[in-house]
Amino acid sequence: MEVALIDAGGANIGSVCYALERLGVDARLTADVEAIRRADRVILPGVGAAGAGMARLRALGLVDVVRELTQPLLGICLGMQLLFESSEENDTQCLGLMPGRVRRLSAGEGVRVPHMGWNRLQSRRDDALLAGLESGAHAYFVHSYAAPVGEDTLATTTHGEEFSAVVRRGRCWGAQFHPERSASAGARLLENFLSERLA
């Protein structure tokens, strides 16, 4: 299986590559349009700000490429947020592959932003991406913005408020948490994404 890891400049790229290597996949880190288009699976990682992430995709000429993909696409952390229509962060227009606006998490008593740490996933509906992951599995999060709960939500978590932890619309999936840092649950999600039954 050919896996393209979009070189979107995120700090988590190395750890995502290593997590895929542990699953026996030699993912290609690339910004090459044709390599991305011919891949069996495409992953959009990301850490940082939405505005900078979209600016990099535009500079690389990849915005329309990502929008027009027909194979399974997985956004991770910021990569998931960029799948939505827009983000409050710098009022950024994103890829528009999923409806909704990503919003900043609200800090409060006992609730720090950025959200950093392990949280339980609460499953909302079945999907091949979550096969074998029990509701209540722990995943590792590092973020300040989050997508709302909606019809595309597969799983949620709560940090002061409930938000989407895993989403899906058509060929696009997203994980707000870092599967590459989420031990067995994260490895299972990546393994499911690479599985033939996902297609």
20-24, 37-41, 190-194: range with lowest mean pLDDT? 20-24
Q: What is the pLDDT of residue 11?
A: 59
Instruction: Give the bridge partners for 28, in sequence order.
Output: 4
Give the other-Cβ count within 10 Å of 123's Cβ. Answer: 18
**Does residue 15 have a pLDDT over 90?**
no
Distance of CA 109 to the CA centre of its chain: 28
Residues 117 and 138: their CA atoms lie apart, in Å, by 10
pTM (2 d.p.): 0.95
Q: Which of 17, 172, 178, 191 is catalytic?
A: 178
**Does residue 181 have a pLDDT over 90?**
yes
Q: Which of 89, 115, 143, 180 is catalytic?
A: 180
Domains and CATH numbers, the chain: 3-198 (3.40.50.880)
Residues 124 and 179: their CA atoms lie apart, in Å, by 19
Q: What integer is the mean pLDDT of 121-126?
A: 96
Q: What is the pLDDT of residue 12?
A: 66
Residues 175 and 161: their CA atoms lie apart, in Å, by 17
Question: pLDDT of 90-115, one tens digit each?
Answer: 999 999 999 999 999 999 888 999 99
What letter would DSSP give residue 59?
H
Give the other-Cβ count within 10 Å of 199's Cβ. Answer: 10
Length of the chain: 199
Residues 116 and 166: their CA atoms lie apart, in Å, by 17
Q: What is the pLDDT of residue 198?
A: 83
Task: Check if 180 is active-site.
Answer: yes
Q: What is the pLDDT of residue 5?
A: 94
What letter would DSSP give residue 108?
B
Q: Which of 77, 89, 94, 172 is catalytic?
A: 77
With the C-alpha atoms ordered 122, 124, 130, 135, is the resulting torsion angle positive or negative? positive
**Does residue 182 have a pLDDT over 70?**
yes
Task: Look up residue 90 and give its amino acid.
Answer: N
Mean confidence (pLDDT) of the chain: 94
Question: pLDDT of 56-82, one tens digit each?
Answer: 999 999 999 999 999 999 999 999 999
Confidence band of 193 (pLDDT split at 50, 70, 90): very high
Task: Check if 178 is active-site.
Answer: yes
Q: What is the pLDDT of residue 10?
A: 64
